[in-house]
């Protein structure tokens, strides 16, 4: 549902669920009360990557994503995302006997503290070392072509503000009514369906954004 202002948060139903949702807690702290193992906690919090956030900065409200996956299941392509990338690349790019590998790493948005001209090579090394831990060894000497895309590239080449592909953060200061509204405030007859509007980033959440905007559009058209 849309949240056009702070009064949208006030209802008896929402007040009653506060003790259960515990919106004041962070996700890793909430799940630490249920899962003690150092391997189990990351397994139930990795969904924070869907929103471009760390599980240590991720509100416990979003534990719903973990719940939905484990309660109702989720479809994964055989071979994972790399299988999709490989099949897409194979048509025009992959030579016979070669394969494509797509690696996604969490990084900061553009910030004065990070100079990607200096950090690009170092972080590339981090990625390769992490791949070795997964069993993909000796990969560097087998690379025939590679492309590294950083926050600076997203901003400079595609005009994404600060190179933040996940858009705004999912903190109290940038959620619900402080977030750009589905019925865009600055222009009449304009509606937003993106990760930067309510309710947020991640495909399931963006689908909900589309549903909200569609309902608002139909209301305005009577």
What is the pLDDT tens value at each position of the chain, 222 positions in all? Answer: 777 777 777 778 878 888 887 878 888 888 888 888 777 888 888 777 777 777 787 788 778 777 878 888 777 666 666 566 556 555 556 778 888 888 888 888 999 999 999 999 999 999 999 999 988 888 888 898 899 999 999 999 999 999 988 888 877 778 777 888 899 888 888 999 888 888 888 777 888 899 999 999 999 998
List, as own/partner pairs, every contact residues 122-129 make where C-beta atoms lie below 8 angstroms and the sequence separation is at least 24, other chains included.
Answer: 123/150, 124/148, 127/103
pLDDT given at position 85 = 57
Measured CA to CA, the distance from residue 213 to residue 220 in angstroms comes to: 11
Q: Which residues 6+ apart lie within 8 Å of 161 measured at CB?
A: 155
Q: Is the pTM of this model over 0.85?
A: no
Query: For the packed helices 116-133 and 151-158, what is the interaxial angle rounded to 10 degrees?
Result: 130
First to last CA, the chain: 18
Measured CA to CA, the distance from residue 52 to residue 100 in angstroms comes to: 24
Local structure of 23: helix, strand or coil: coil
pLDDT given at position 83 = 61
pLDDT given at position 92 = 55
pLDDT given at position 80 = 62
pLDDT given at position 84 = 61
Burial zone of 198 (CB within 10 Å; 0-12 exposed, 13-18 middle, 19+ buried): buried
pLDDT given at position 210 = 92
DSSP-derived letter for residue 111 is -
Bridge partners (DSSP) of residue 26 are 59
- Longest Cα separation, the chain: 63
Residue whose C-alpha is closest to residue 204's, from 45, 59, 88, 67: 67
């Amino acid at each position: 549902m849309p949240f056009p202002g702070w009064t949208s948060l006030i209802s008896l139903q929402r007040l009653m669920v506060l003790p259960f949702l515990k919106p004041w807690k962070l996700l890793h702290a909430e799940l630490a009360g249920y899962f003690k193992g150092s391997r189990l906690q990351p397994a139930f919090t990795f969904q924070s990557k869907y929103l471009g956030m760390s599980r240590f900065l991720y509100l416990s409200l979003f534990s719903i994503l973990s719940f939905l996956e484990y309660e109702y299941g989720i479809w994964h392509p055989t071979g994972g995302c790399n299988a999709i990338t490989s099949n897409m690349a194979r048509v025009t790019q992959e030579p016979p006997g070669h394969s494509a590998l797509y690696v996604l790493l969490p990084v900061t948005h553009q910030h004065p503290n990070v100079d990607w001209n200096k950090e690009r090579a170092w972080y590339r090394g981090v990625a390769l070392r992490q791949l070795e831990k997964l069993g993909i060894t000796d990969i560097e000497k087998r690379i025939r072509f590679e492309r590294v895309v950083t926050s600076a590239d997203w901003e400079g080449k595609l005009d994404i503000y600060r190179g933040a592909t996940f858009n705004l953060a999912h903190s109290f200061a940038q959620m619900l009514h402080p977030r750009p509204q589905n019925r865009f405030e600055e222009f009449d007859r304009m509606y937003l369906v993106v990760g930067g509007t309510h309710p947020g980033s991640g495909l399931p959440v963006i689908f909900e954004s589309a549903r909200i905007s569609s309902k608002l559009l139909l209301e305005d058209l009577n």
